[in-house]
């Protein structure tokens, strides 16, 4: 796989070494058990896969390339490059300006842009409508288009589904940048509908079975379907694709549930006439990170820490998995840890919380550790050191770290 040029301050020498060792020992990525790192009284159970994925590294490389290749020019990002505050703050500190926020609200009017400006498309991609607006202004949006190749793969699959008269069902959050972009590309090729979770899939299956009037369907999926959507016509033949940062297992669960609905109605032998096989659209990096998180759940530990941006969909899903077993703290970086107190994000209630004495009192502590696909390894390393500093002086810690080399 391609090696990207990412600024060294995003890297962690310690974690890079662990990742390299696992890659050599398990080149086919079949082993999802965590790496175990003991430092003093702390044992860190580090996810087999975590941190920057292919799409994120590609986006960061192109962003810094745009900066180096365009001195003196105004450089804009359509919206946040990725959902990590440290990365976005670094880009803005280098002079890159955001045109929109994550919800699509305009921060700088497109009318202020000129053909001499540089505009970067983020890793999530963008809608066809915005692409056309930028092209009409004479802007080059391809040279520094950082759309993740796996997002584009979903778009390409949606196009094929439309060509075969399938309605495109998108498993995603309708207000997320990536899903807004995927929806735009999908409706250019056929009817489309956004389903957030299995609960919404259950309602959709009831509509397919004729258990709800059309008015109930339109009310339930308001703002989540293409114009002119006709449930009687457009739910006869579907294909499911996803926002690549959603739980892959949930996408499969939704697909299997809808498939069972069609088999009940029309028989197993006729399923291909009603539902496309779209397993090939699931993002490998999301699968690997989530499989690695399931591997963490096989372990025994005192707590789990997940590091990443609070608006990061893929990171929140790692939290969702780990909190099934461990007290789980979702933090953006080491500054959230202050001695034995931690400030962490409750993604269910969308608010910050503070927990005192979050570290157990016993001598030996086992901590599950992972991060989202947009989180630099250097931030994870700093979290480890901040945890260690709750028990060790700087000199003691340096001595412990020296033993690792």
The H-or-E segment that residue 192 falls in is strand 192-195
In angstroms, the CA 355 to CA 344 distance is: 8
In angstroms, the CA 373 to CA 205 distance is: 32
In angstroms, the CA 264 to CA 163 distance is: 26
Helix axes 313-322, 284-296, angle to 10 degrees: 20
| Neighbour-count burial for 116-126, b at 16+ CB within 10 Å, e otherwise | ebbbbbbbbbb
The two structure tokens encoding residue 15: 């974690």
Any idea of the CA torsion for 89, 93, 94, 95, to the nearest 10 degrees? 100
DSSP 286-300: HHHHHHHHHHHTTS-
Distance, first Cα to last Cα, the chain: 28
In angstroms, the CA 293 to CA 65 distance is: 33
- 304, β-bridge pairs: 328, 368
The candidate with the shortest Cα–Cα distance to 313, out of 211, 175, 221, is 175
Give the residue numbers marked as catalytic.
Answer: 178
The two structure tokens encoding residue 44: 């860190």
């Amino acid at each position: 796989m391609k090696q990207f040029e990412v600024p060294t301050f995003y890297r962690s020498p310690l974690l890079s070494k662990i990742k390299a060792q696992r890659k050599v020992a398990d080149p086919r990525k079949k082993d999802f058990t965590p790496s175990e790192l003991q430092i003093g009284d702390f044992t860190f159970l580090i996810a087999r896969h975590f941190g920057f994925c292919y799409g994120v590294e590609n986006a960061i490389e192109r962003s810094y390339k745009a900066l180096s290749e365009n001195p003196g020019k105004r450089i804009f990002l359509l919206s946040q490059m990725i959902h990590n505050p440290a990365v976005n703050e670094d880009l803005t500190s280098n002079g890159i300006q955001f045109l929109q926020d994550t919800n699509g609200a305009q921060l700088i009017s497109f009318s202020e842009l000129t053909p001499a400006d540089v505009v970067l498309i983020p890793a999530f991609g963008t809608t066809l409508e915005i692409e056309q607006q930028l092209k009409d202004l004479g802007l080059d949006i391809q040279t520094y288009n950082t759309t993740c190749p796996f997002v584009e793969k979903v778009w390409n699959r949606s196009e094929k589904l439309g060509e075969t008269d399938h309605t495109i069902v998108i498993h995603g959050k309708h207000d997320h940048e990536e899903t807004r972009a995927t929806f735009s590309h999908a409706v250019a090729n056929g009817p489309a509908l956004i389903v957030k979770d299995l609960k919404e899939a259950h309602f959709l299956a009831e509509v397919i079975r004729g258990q709800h009037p059309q008015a109930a369907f339109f009310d339930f999926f308001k703002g989540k379907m293409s114009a002119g959507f006709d449930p009687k016509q457009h739910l006869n033949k579907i294909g499911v694709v996803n926002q690549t940062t959603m739980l892959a297992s949930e996408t499969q669960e939704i697909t299997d549930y809808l498939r069972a609905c069609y088999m009940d109605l029309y028989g197993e032998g006729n399923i291909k006439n009603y539902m496309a096989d779209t397993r090939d659209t699931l993002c490998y990096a999301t699968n690997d990170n989530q499989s690695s998180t399931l591997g963490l759940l096989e372990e025994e530990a005192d707590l789990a820490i997940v590091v990443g941006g609070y608006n990061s969909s893929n990171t929140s899903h790692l939290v969702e998995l780990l909190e099934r077993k461990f007290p789980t703290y979702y933090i953006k970086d080491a500054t959230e840890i202050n001695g034995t107190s931690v400030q962490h994000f409750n993604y269910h209630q969308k608010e910050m919380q503070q927990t005192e004495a979050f570290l157990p009192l016993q001598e030996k502590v086992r901590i599950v550790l992972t991060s989202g696909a947009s989180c630099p390894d250097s931030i994870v390393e700093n979290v480890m050191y901040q945890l260690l500093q709750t028990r060790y002086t700087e000199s003691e810690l340096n001595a412990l770290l020296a033993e690792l080399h």
